[in-house]
Amino acid sequence: MLVLDGVAKRYGEATILHPTSLSLGRGQRVALIGPSGSGKSTLIRTVLGLVVADAGRVLFDGIEVGPETARAVRRRCGYVISDGGLFPHLTAGGNVTLVARRLAWKTARIEERVDALLTLVRLERDLLTRYPDQLSGGQRQRVGIMRALMLDPEVLLFDEPFTALDPMVRAELQDDLLAIVTRLAKTVLLVTHDLAEAALLCERLALLHDGRLVQVGAAWELVERPATPFVSAFVSAQRAFVSPPRPPDLEAPLA
Amino acid sequence: MRWAYAALSLVAWLGLTATAQAGTLRIGSKRFTESMILAEIVARAARAAGEGRVEHVEGLGGTAIVLAALEDGAIDLYPEYSGSLKESLLHDVRAGDADLARALSGVGLGITASLGFENAYALGMKRERALALHVTRLSDLAAHTNVRIALSNEFVGRSDGWSGLRAAYGLEAFAPRGMDHGLAYVAIQDGAADVTDAYTTDAALARLDLVTLDDDRHFFPSYRAIIVYRLAARSSFPRSFAAIEALAGRIDAPTMTRLNAEAEVRRLAPADIAAGFLGAVPSGPANRPSLLRGIGDVIVLHGPRHVVLVFLATFFAVLAGVPLGVLAARSRVGGGILLSAAGLVQTIPSLALLCFAVPLLGVGALPAMVALFVYGLLPIAGNTLAGLRGIPLTLREAAAALGLSPLDLLLRVELPMAAPVILTGIKTAAITAVGTATIAAFIGAGGFGEPISTGLNLNDTQMILEGAVPAALLALLVQGAFAVIERRMVPGAR
């Protein structure tokens, strides 16, 4: 479905991305993980033609992404960014239906699609009349996901979608998103620096470091068979929550 | 599209108010000082009657043109001379007054009694030359064929001008040069000519030290100064005409010569000379309205024109400025040049900018509108550029990622997101235009600047305020209107 073939990018003297290759079969879910500045955001943006690679090529369902094809490819992708990326001058509903209206969809068809998406992302209908700044962060992100899904795209691209959210909302959205993408069986490319999020949502993880792909595999492979010392360092930097021991003087009265 | 039609029809209105507006008394004048001063005196007298808008359609050229304008109804009245009317209507400059009255009423026109002086033709000769050659009468001239004669074009063509004069005095040996009247005086001044035609109330006679040659064979007919008018206008504006007819007999030849000299020697504007003349009349200042009443009158009289001028200039500035800003946002170099140009033009004083427009576009509403447009263009284009550049990269990418067409992307996402900044630019342009449009009166654009500029010339504080206060009120109104629009544009406040 999606093939990145030797994609590379430089900004002046700085190499953001060394030649990188990665491919996703239809319905596969891959997470691009790595620290800030590792090139993962640059890589995902080459898929949409938002960043034009200096070398290599991106194939979308066999079509090479370029100036002429970018628009068609974008219509077949849903793109979700941090905080939803909603346009402040449109209501939530206006954001969701913008492209469909420009494509002259019939009103009934738009309404039907919006109804289905409201159920899917678990959002109340009356929130659609609100403007983005009248919504909570979690609601904005649900609207952003609705907008990405509106045209029923084959590929979903998420660029650090949940970084702006507080932990409870994030966990809830992660669960909901997992349900959505497994149910729809979409091809997913997710950019995150959160290993737990990557492991939850995707079956394959691609770890980037300084513009190079250092390891591609399932989460357990990165944990148990790290390809480089950096991989183990990255993995061990993500810590599970361990409660500190209960203070001794509180133990007796409770018992 | 409907907006475009509305704007175009407003442009037409601006251009045609001179011919199409009902309830306006239009006073014409010929293209020379005396005619313009008389027209201003008449206009001032009519305005004092307070019957509606009074307009002076200046400098329409010779008798034939003004008379045609009068018969067409493009103007309602103008100052004329009995001899010129007889020549034009009856082709006989010596026709009787009764014949003239009959001819006039036949075409729906009438005349007032004499204003009090005659402005007959005469030939003027340099005093020293006349003394040297001992020429005091026109009949003396025939003997001196080396005298150089420069005549106005109109005089050359008239039967009561050169052709009749030549026959009456036997001047066939002379070959006068025809030229513009003003240029004929220059020729006299420079010593390129000795004799020219002149009017008996002509200030140039004294200025150039000319003596008028005695019309000893009584060739030149009578040229009583009168006002010729459309009978229909007289019945529509009875009080104005009463005021105009009261001027009869009030201006004698020395007074008229003095008024002409004020224009030609002291370089005063005809309107100011008229104001000065009528100001000496005891009844004039007594009729002066209160400041509040005067402001009200100015708003009614000049407000629509001022508003339309500002609106159209701003409208076209938006129409051109926003696309310009969009183009600049697409190109880094172009954007830089645009912003520098915006800063530069803002530093040009508005009066200077207006004066630049005059050689290119003449005087009146058009050059004023163009100047206001130029002022508005750059804040709007600059703010469009700033607004588009101010959209966060992430949102711009999110928009691009939707796969909209470039036009949809611009119209549905980018411009609406830049709209608050663009609106601020439009507000700046509109408020600047309200202020600058008052200065536009200096180039004949009308509006609230008209009482201001007249008041400045006359050192009349009340008149200045009558223009300045409405202009300030309009600026506040525009500011308030934009505040409302801005509040409505904040998402969620709708």
A129 touches B: beta carbon within 8 Å: no
Nearest to B440 by CA among B458, B476, B467: B467
Q: In the predicted model, is pLDDT for residue B283 greater than 50?
A: no
What pLDDT score was predicted for residue B218?
Answer: 84
Residues, chain A: 255
- Model confidence at B185, pLDDT cuts 50, 70, 90, reads confident
Identify the closest residue of chain B to A96 by CA–CA distance.
B402
More confident residue, A220 or B71: A220
**B185 and B75, same structural domain?**
no
A74/B400 touch (CB, cutoff 8 Å), yes or no: yes
What pLDDT score was predicted for residue B269?
Answer: 78
B491/A89 touch (CB, cutoff 8 Å), yes or no: yes
The count of domains in chain B is 3
B416 touches A: beta carbon within 8 Å: yes
Question: Whole-angstrom Cα distance, residue B479 to residue B246?
Answer: 46
What pLDDT score was predicted for residue B176?
Answer: 85
**B163 and B180, same structural domain?**
yes
Question: Whole-angstrom Cα distance, residue B159 to residue B472?
Answer: 56
**B280 and B227, same structural domain?**
yes
**B435 and B310, same structural domain?**
yes
B488 min Cα distance to partner chain A (Å):
11
B14 belongs to a structural domain: no
A155 min Cα distance to partner chain B (Å):
12
Domain parsing of chain A, residue ranges: 1-76+190-240
B76 belongs to a structural domain: yes
B403/A131 touch (CB, cutoff 8 Å), yes or no: no
- Model confidence at B406, pLDDT cuts 50, 70, 90, reads confident
- For B398, which of A79, A131, A133 is closest by C-beta distance? A79
- For A88, which of B408, B412, B491 is closest by C-beta distance? B491
A74/B417 touch (CB, cutoff 8 Å), yes or no: no
- For A98, which of B401, B402, B405 is closest by C-beta distance? B402
- Model confidence at A160, pLDDT cuts 50, 70, 90, reads very high
Over range B455-470, report the average pLDDT: 75
Q: In the predicted model, is pLDDT for residue B229 greater than 90?
A: yes
Quick: pLDDT tens for B364-385: 678 788 888 888 888 899 899 9
Best residue in B397, B402, B404 for a mutation probing chain A (most A CBs within 10 Å): B402
Question: Whole-angstrom Cα distance, residue A48 to residue A52?
Answer: 9
**Cβ B317 vs Cβ B429: under 8 Å:** yes
**Count of helix runs (H) and strand runs (E) in chain B:** 25, 10
- How far, CA to CA in Å, does A150 sit from each of A87, A96, B20, B35? 16, 7, 57, 76
What pLDDT score was predicted for residue A246?
Answer: 75
B403/A85 touch (CB, cutoff 8 Å), yes or no: no
A102/B398 touch (CB, cutoff 8 Å), yes or no: no
What pLDDT score was predicted for residue B10?
Answer: 66
Identify the closest residue of chain B to A82 by CA–CA distance.
B394
pTM exceeding 0.80? no
**Cβ A147 vs Cβ B398: under 8 Å:** no
**Cβ A21 vs Cβ A4: under 8 Å:** yes
Q: In the predicted model, is pLDDT for residue B201 greater than 90?
A: no
Q: Indicate the average pLDDT of chain A.
A: 90
B491/A133 touch (CB, cutoff 8 Å), yes or no: yes
- For A48, which of B394, B401, B413 is closest by C-beta distance? B401
- Of B177, B212, B247, the last residue of a domain is B212
Q: In the predicted model, is pLDDT for residue A208 greater than 80?
A: yes
Over range B143-161, report the average pLDDT: 82
Q: Which of residues 188-217 of A touch B (CB under 8 A)?
A: none
The strand pair at B225-230 and B77-81 is best described as antiparallel
B401 touches A: beta carbon within 8 Å: yes
Nearest-5° Cα angle at B262, B257 to B266: 140
Q: Which residues of B touch A157 (CB under 8 A)?
A: 401
Residue for token pair 């009844």: B283
B87 belongs to a structural domain: yes
Q: In the predicted model, is pLDDT for residue A154 greater than 80?
A: yes
What pLDDT score was predicted for residue A92?
Answer: 95
What pLDDT score was predicted for residue B19?
Answer: 40
Percent of chain B with pLDDT over 90: 21
More confident residue, A199 or B163: A199
Over range B402-420, report the average pLDDT: 91
**B334 and B246, same structural domain?**
no
Q: Write b or e for each residue in A220-237: b if 16 or more Cβ atoms lie within 10 A of its Cβ, otherwise e.
A: eebbeebeeebbeebbee
A141 min Cα distance to partner chain B (Å):
13
Of A11-20, A35-44, B17-26, B232-241, minimum mean pLDDT range: B17-26
Token pair of B183, please? 């240029």
**Cβ B28 vs Cβ B39: under 8 Å:** yes
- For B401, which of A79, A88, A133 is closest by C-beta distance? A79
Quick: pLDDT tens for B55-108: 887 766 567 767 877 887 878 999 999 888 888 888 887 888 889 999 999 889
Q: What is the CATH number of the domain that holds B138?
A: 3.40.190.120
B1 belongs to a structural domain: no
Q: What is the CATH number of the domain that holds B25?
A: 3.40.190.10
Question: Whole-angstrom Cα distance, residue B361 to residue A85?
Answer: 50
Identify the closest residue of chain A to B417 by CA–CA distance.
A89
**B476 and B440, same structural domain?**
yes
**B227 and B205, same structural domain?**
no
Nearest to B227 by CA among B242, B212, B213: B242
B10 belongs to a structural domain: no
A99 touches B: beta carbon within 8 Å: yes
Identify the closest residue of chain A to B405 by CA–CA distance.
A71
A32 min Cα distance to partner chain B (Å):
19
A204 strand-pairing partners: A30
A67 touches B: beta carbon within 8 Å: no
**Cβ B280 vs Cβ B82: under 8 Å:** no
B309 belongs to a structural domain: yes
A217 min Cα distance to partner chain B (Å):
28
Question: Whole-angstrom Cα distance, residue A180 to residue A116?
Answer: 12
B399 touches A: beta carbon within 8 Å: yes
- For A74, which of B402, B413, B416 is closest by C-beta distance? B402
What pLDDT score was predicted for residue B59?
Answer: 60
A75 touches B: beta carbon within 8 Å: yes
**B307 and B266, same structural domain?**
no
A102 touches B: beta carbon within 8 Å: yes
**B301 and B152, same structural domain?**
no
Q: In the predicted model, is pLDDT for residue A106 greater than 50?
A: yes
Highest average pLDDT, of A114-118, B330-334, B352-356, comes from: A114-118
B397 touches A: beta carbon within 8 Å: yes
Over range B149-172, report the average pLDDT: 83
A73 touches B: beta carbon within 8 Å: yes
Quick: pLDDT tens for B18-54: 443 458 898 988 767 788 899 999 999 888 888 888 8
Residue for token pair 């480089």: A228
Highest average pLDDT, of B148-152, B171-175, B220-224, B420-424, comes from: B420-424
**B439 and B341, same structural domain?**
yes
B406 belongs to a structural domain: yes
B175 touches A: beta carbon within 8 Å: no
B325 min Cα distance to partner chain A (Å):
20
Over range B306-329, report the average pLDDT: 92
Identify the closest residue of chain A to B420 by CA–CA distance.
A89
B99 belongs to a structural domain: yes
B397/A77 touch (CB, cutoff 8 Å), yes or no: no
A144 min Cα distance to partner chain B (Å):
10
A69 min Cα distance to partner chain B (Å):
10
Q: Which domain holds residue B73?
A: 21-116+223-286
Q: Indicate the average pLDDT of chain B.
A: 82
Q: Which residues of A touch B411 (CB under 8 A)?
A: none
What pLDDT score was predicted for residue B442?
Answer: 66
- B105 dihedral zone (left: phi>0; alpha: psi -120 to 50; beta): alpha
Q: In the predicted model, is pLDDT for residue B493 greater than 60?
A: no
Residue pairs between chains A and B whose CB atoms are closer than 8 Å = 63
If one looks up domain A1-76+190-240 in CATH, what number appears?
3.40.50.300
By CB neighbour count within 10 A (0-12 exposed, 13-18 middle, 19+ buried), where does A85 fall? Answer: buried
B394/A45 touch (CB, cutoff 8 Å), yes or no: no
**B164 and B60, same structural domain?**
no
**B450 and B329, same structural domain?**
yes
What pLDDT score was predicted for residue A129?
Answer: 94
